[in-house]
Amino acid sequence: MVSAVFHTPLPAHAEAAPVRAEHTPVRTEPIEAPRTTARLPFDWRALWLRVVPPLLGLGLLVLLWQLVAQSTGSGIPSPAFTWDAAVKLFSDPFYSNGPNDQGIGWNVLSSLQRVGMGFGMAALVGIPAGFLIGRFRFLSRMFNPLISLLRPVSPLAWLPIGLLVFKGANPAAIWTIFICSIWPMVINTAVGVQRVPQDYLNVARVLNLSEWKVITKILLPAVLPYMLTGVRLAVGTAWLVIVAAEMLTGGVGIGFWVWDEWNNLNVAHIIIAIFTIGLVGLVLEFALVQLATAFTYEEVKS
């Protein structure tokens, strides 16, 4: 059965009402998508490559150390015995029982004080000298042969000269630090000045800048990475030399402490001193690397 749908026709006089088109305002602002913070997955592989290899290296060192200690007649204490000695030693690192019996903390601080004094004087002399040698060709030709002659000399060869001139062990050690740490700063600073683009200096000549403005506004920003590299090398050299210098001069210092422990046949303390010297040198190196990174700029490529 089919149902029919009937539509009532409109009257003849009735007209359809006009339909008004409503104009909705068009939104011209860009619609921002809801911000969602994408959480990146943790990179376990990077952590593995960063942490595991150093641990394996330390483990290999301890294993070899244990094997050498177990060999007959080596005289090397085991890692466990050295660890116990280190715990006792660093439980009171700043004791003082007289000038020849002081804790390892006082010895490290005394060595750092000598390094700071010698290195500071070397920086005050070496960095300006490097600027002058790199800036003026006459001075470069004058001093380059002297630097080439004196730089390869062993730092300890300067120690007797210091003892003769200064009549004291402490100033002689500072003199040795000075003379061995000045060369990296002079050479690196001079090389940095010589590698400044000639266009920069030509612009300074056109602008009729004074020599002081050329050094402070043009040379110093360009030479700073080279200069900091020289400072880092100089500090590493100074920390290496002070240990050997203190072994010969005596007094309070980590080098003298190592020699004194050898006279007492305390090999465990010597090994502890070796690790302490390495850690202090590592901290100094890391601090200067961070300083150099902070002051080094990269050119922006367009």
Show the tokens assigned to 147: 């630097």
- For residue 124, being part of any structural domain is answered with yes
Cβ–Cβ < 8 Å for 155, 180 = yes
Query: Distance from first CA to last CA of the chain, Å, rounded?
Result: 81
Query: How remote is the C-alpha of 160 from its chain's centroid?
Result: 32
pLDDT band at 1 (very low <50, low <70, confident <90, very high): very low
For the stretch 130-176, pLDDT in tens is: 989 988 889 999 999 999 999 888 888 898 998 899 888 889 999 99
Is residue 255 in some structural domain?
yes
In a domain, 101, yes or no: no
Question: For residue 88, is it within any domain?
Answer: no
pLDDT tens per residue, range 35-60: 555 566 666 777 777 778 888 888 89
pLDDT higher than 50, residue 302: no
On whether the CB atoms of residues 236 and 42 are closer than 8 A, the answer is no
pTM greater than 0.75: no
Per-residue pLDDT for 183 more than 90?
Answer: yes
Contact of 188 with 230, CB cutoff 8 Å:
yes
Which range of residues forms the domain containing residue 200?
107-295
Q: What is the rounded average pLDDT for all residues in the chain?
A: 81
* Domain annotation covers residue 210: yes
Residue 252 forms part of a structural domain? yes
14 class by beta-carbon count within 10 Å (0-12 exposed, 13-18 middle, 19+ buried): exposed
Structural domain includes residue 84: no
CATH number at residue 259: 1.10.3720.10
> How far apart are alpha carbons 268 and 76 in whole angstroms?
8
Say what percent of the chain tops pLDDT 90.
21
Model confidence over 13-32: pLDDT tens digits?
A: 445 445 454 555 555 555 55
**Residue 69 pLDDT grade (very low, low, confident, very high; cuts 50, 70, 90):** confident
How many structural domains comprise the chain?
1
CA separation for the pair 42, 29 (Å, rounded): 37
Helices (H), the chain: 44-70, 79-90, 104-135, 137-150, 159-166, 169-194, 198-206, 211-213, 220-249, 254-263, 267-295
- Name the band, by pLDDT with cuts 50, 70 and 90, for residue 211: confident
Is 278 a domain residue?
A: yes
